[in-house]
Amino acid sequence: MQVVKTVTEMRKLRRQLNEPVGFVPTMGYFHEGHLSLVRQARKENSTVVVSIFVNPTQFGPGEDFQDYPRDLERDLELLEREKVDIVFVPSEEEMYPSGFSSWIDVEGVTERLEGASRLEHFRGVITVCAKLFNIIQPTRAYFGQKDAQQAVVIKKMVADLSMNLEITVVSTIRESDGLAMSSRNTYLNPEERQAAIVLFRALSLARELWQGGEKDADKIRHEMTSLIQKEPLARIDYVSIADANTLEELKAINRPALASLAVRIGKTRLIDNVLLKGGK
Ligand code: PAF
């Protein structure tokens, strides 16, 4: 496994890689969710490249950029075990040299859900992903369903800007009690960790109601909200039943939908979602 730190070195190496090249962009501090992306990339490609970069431009003022958990040594050990070929670990200066002033915006889908309260978040995510795609030129890139809106936004950018790669979205990996794996779960104390199950319980309720034939999105949002409000440590940011592609809120669930939510447990903001589509 080669660890590469500069864009110049990465570009040089890229010319020699066996095709197809699978790419997993990450901010490190790996859990099983990240590793499931890496494993799928390993299965489907001759070469696997993983990037580790805690991207400052996707964190808003007052968010957890400084505190975001980091453990490069452990991450590299885990990637070595997964037989990753190349790890791209650029510095902040390498990605955003002084004078950097070019950004990519995707309108519409970025303005709802996460985008409504985290104003510049998606501009940062989209721009760094576009840069990474340009540097690594992957055949396929892998994203988690856990960050459903991020996956929708990246797919839209790739389609709108005719980028030459395929985006694969991999199912959410959960703890045994249903909590979606996330690097931010490490912020939870034991009492908060227990309370955090309420996100999955609310999403499971949404799925049960929908599977039972409920099509009224307001009713489902209302039932989810009531359930979460019973948990004293939880504060709702949003509860959404939206079109799975445009992320516009639905009145009736008459097409593939995404049930998603953002909830603060103590000081930690957690997000999760389930798809309401297909064979129920
Ligand atoms: O999902 C993440 O970890 C980040 O948003 C990503 C895609 C690596 C961009 O910084």
Write out pLDDT tens, residues 172-197: 999 999 999 999 999 999 999 999 99
Let me know whether 194 and 68 are in one domain.
Answer: no
How many domains are there within the chain? 2
- Residues 176, 229, 233, 62: is their CA dihedral positive or negative? positive
- Verify that 107 and 210 share a domain, yes or no: no
How much is the pLDDT for 119? Answer: 83
List CB contacts of 192: < 8 A, sequence separation 6 or more. Answer: 233, 265, 266, 268
Are residues 50 and 136 located together in one domain of the fold? yes
Looking from the CA of residue 125, the nearest atom of ligand 1 is 9
Flag whether 280 is in a domain: no
Same domain, 47 and 84: yes
**Mean of all residue pLDDT scores within the chain:** 97
Q: Which of 31, 34, 121, 222 is catalytic?
A: 34
Question: Last residue of a domain, which of 144, 170, 196?
Answer: 170
pTM of the model: 0.97
Q: 151: Cβ–Cβ under 8 A, 6 or more apart, which residues?
A: 143, 144, 145, 167, 169
Which of ligand 1's atoms lies nearest the C-alpha of 27?
Answer: 3
Longest dimension (CA), the chain: 57
Range of the domain at 227: 183-273
Q: How far is the CA of 68 from the centre of ligand 1 (A)?
A: 12
Tokens of 218: 């307001």
pLDDT band, very low/low/confident/very high, at 278 (cuts 50, 70, 90): confident
